[in-house]
Chains A and B, each alone.
Chain A
Amino acid sequence: MEDKGEGRGYIVSYQGLEELFCRLKEGWRVVAPKLKEGVILYSEVESLRELPFGHRNREMPGFYCLERAEGYFTYTHPVNSLKAFLHPSELVLMRVRTSDGCLEFEVCNSEGNFCFFDVRACDLFALEVLDRVFVHKNPHPDSYYRKLREGAFVVAVNCAYATSTCFCTTMGTGPEVKEGYDLLITELREGFLLEAGSERGRALLESLGNKKEAGEEHFLQKRERLREAEAIMERHFEIGGLPDRLYGRMDSQYWKHIEKRCLACTSCTQSCPTCFCFDILERNDLKLKESERIRVWDSCFSPAFATVHRYNIRQSVHSRYRQWLMHKFAYWMDQFDLFGCVGCGRCITWCPVGIDIRQEIKKVLGSE
């Protein structure tokens, strides 16, 4: 067991955070939330000032906008997720060339060397989910994911705010960051509480210049901030025994209703931080001298997804919706021992017609 130094921490000022950021920049490609195109997106950033401090994302089913707010970490998770960096939407897996009558293979396996800065509890949990999907619970661990993920340094942040589509308390993933981080930041009245979650996090924290030991009152304030976020969120359904309750609704009349509302546009699956489905494409040149094998994001809502020998086994929209919902909240548990949903609410916000998975689950459970 690593000594996480439970109940220990330091208070730093904004300058202290800047010092931390500069130290991270020396050794890592830092990915953090950034203002871009009128939204907040995880991007590679050069300085701490690029973070969207003082902005607040307002989200509703099918709606997103930004407002101003007092403070620094005033927003929740970005629009995109860390999936974009660890399971890129288009990844060249290998190239094959013909040279003097022989085939030359080049495996394109690149390293990540990422530092994920300002990761919220839901997205941190999503990393755990992806780790299991691609590596720990995968009989054929994925070398591409592993190489991008290996050694990633994680600086997590506790949320003091939630949007109307957040439901981490329902899924039991947040708002408090509990594990899987190197450093944890909580914004308090007089500065930022920094806690270490790993040995290397601790070493970095100890080496920072201007800091003072955090006291009892700081940890009390941290609890208060988390309670502020918790208070915004409603508990939508009980997750205990959820897979079994859903299995009992496989033939429910409910599913037909979604046919009239769902576009099968794939937006929910693409916005989801844990949806991992992909397709493999071959790109050849005219003379077949060179070929690239590419992995691209796919979706269970895509019409060709369930096409086997030219027959699509899920032709109706509701059969695709059922597959998605059941995978997230039931089959995933059988496969990976956890839910495929972390309660971030991205699928709700980014559904062009505002379908709310929380309401749909309640409807499925309440149906006959």
Chain B
Amino acid sequence: MRVGVFKFSSCDGCQLAFFDLEEELLLLSEMVSIEYFLEATSYNRWGELDLSFVEGSVSTPEEEERIKKIRESSKFLVAIGACAVSGGIQSARNYEDFSEVYSSVYKGHYVVNPFSRPISDFVKVDLEVRGCPINRRALKEVLVAVMHQRSPQLPTYPLCLECKRKGNVCVAVAYQKPCLGPITVAGCGALCPSFERGCYGCYGPVEKPALEALQGGYERLGLSVENLKELLRLSFNGYNRELRGWL
């Protein structure tokens, strides 16, 4: 099986999940042929690929073209991480005045799109792996599933389910902390609530998140509509299709 790992506008953190596989990475390299992975090898070819992982959001015209080429050469394309799935933290700019944001970051002329977008805005994505960054458990599940031709079992349920399975105490109820867990996809191991802080949504929204209900319910925690919208814009998943209409 020919595998490629590609990077767009992102921090490289999701690619590091491959290195988190540790000894299994060596095993993996015996089982598949890693054709393209700039972070891991100096020998990169880019031909026909059976499985491609894409990290990062599409933020420049060059990236718009490159993602289409990757799609054309890949049989199965997996978006990894909040940037590829939802536009990333850089999509917070989608809700701001672009020229102001641009001039506060760049001196000189660079070609940058006003919007940071998920790759699914440009090409068909076969599977999304959530998280900022993604974790090795999910990556391993995808690799095992694709290699053995079964469907990957990744969570689609809210974080609350994972948090309760873990035996955590609900931070919204016991400590009155606003938590995005009820509308965020599980998979992180309920990391933040395990340390008594609210989930900030880095795994992105569940399908049809109950935004109005959450907003109404969290008013008692002193969270206004604007507060909640800001939390979501900064959740690294602000331009997810399930959120952008409401924000």
Contact = CB atoms under 8 A, between A and B. Distances in A.
Given A286-B28, A352-B170, A270 B153 contact: no
Given A37-B174, A317-B210, 17 more contacts: A41-B167, A63-B176, A64-B174, A261-B213, A263-B182, A263-B213, A265-B181, A266-B160, A267-B164, A285-B24, A286-B27, A302-B158, A302-B161, A303-B157, A352-B172, A352-B173, A352-B214
B173 A266 contact: no
Contact of B220 (A37, A89, A354): A354
Contacts of A351: 173
Contacts of B107: none
Interface residues of A, number: 45
Q: Which of B28, B143, B161, B208 has the most CB of A within 10 A?
A: B161
A260 interface: yes
A135 interface: no
A349 B169 CA distance: 12
Interface string A12-38: 000000000000000000000000111
Contacts of A262: 210, 213
Given A304-B156, A304-B157, A352 B147 contact: no
A263 B156 CA distance: 14
A62 B179 CA distance: 13
Contacts of B173: 62-64, 349-352
Given A38-B175, A350-B173, A286 B144 contact: yes
B182 A265 contact: yes
B217 interface: yes
A65 to B, nearest CB: 8
A299 B153 contact: no
Nearest to B161: A266
Interface string B211-240: 011101110100000000000000000000
A37 B169 contact: yes
Interface of A: 36-39, 41, 62-65, 79-80, 84, 89-90, 260-267, 270-271, 281-282, 284-288, 296-299, 302-304, 317, 349-354
A311 to B, nearest CB: 14
A contact patch SS: loop
Contacts of A303: 156-157, 206-208
Contact of A288 (B148, B161, B208): B148
Contact of B27 (A84, A287, A352): A287
28 contacts: A62-B220, A63-B176, A64-B174, A80-B167, A260-B216, A261-B216, A263-B183, A263-B210, A263-B213, A263-B217, A264-B210, A265-B160, A265-B183, A266-B157, A270-B160, A282-B153, A286-B144, A302-B157, A302-B158, A303-B156, A303-B157, A303-B206, A349-B173, A352-B179, A353-B182, A353-B213, A353-B214, A354-B220
Contacts, number: 127
Contacts of A298: 157, 161
Interchain residue pairs A-B with the least CB separation, the first 4:
A353-B217, A270-B164, A265-B182, A89-B165
B50 interface: no
B196 interface: yes
Q: Which of B196, B208, B216, B217 has the most CB of A within 10 A?
A: B217
A38 B213 CA distance: 27
Contacts of B140: 286
B237 to A, nearest CB: 17
Contacts of A79: 169, 174
B213 A260 contact: yes
Interface of B: 24, 27-28, 31, 140, 143-144, 147-148, 153, 156-158, 160-161, 164-167, 169-170, 172-176, 179, 181-183, 196, 206-208, 210, 212-214, 216-218, 220
B136 to A, nearest CB: 12
A157 to B, nearest CB: 22
B182 A267 contact: yes
A37 B168 CA distance: 9
A62 B217 contact: yes
Contact of B161 (A37, A39, A299, A349): A299
B167 A90 contact: no
Nearest to A284: B144
B164 A89 contact: yes
A319 to B, nearest CB: 12
Given A37-B169, A62-B220, A80-B167, A285 B144 contact: yes
Contacts of B172: 62, 352
Contacts of A261: 213, 216-217
A35 B167 CA distance: 14
Contact of B153 (A39, A281, A302, A353): A281
B183 A297 contact: no
Nearest to B143: A286
A266 B148 contact: no
A38 B153 CA distance: 35
Nearest to B164: A270
A351 B214 CA distance: 11
Contacts of B160: 265-267, 270, 352
Nearest to A307: B156
Nearest to B144: A284
A119 to B, nearest CB: 18
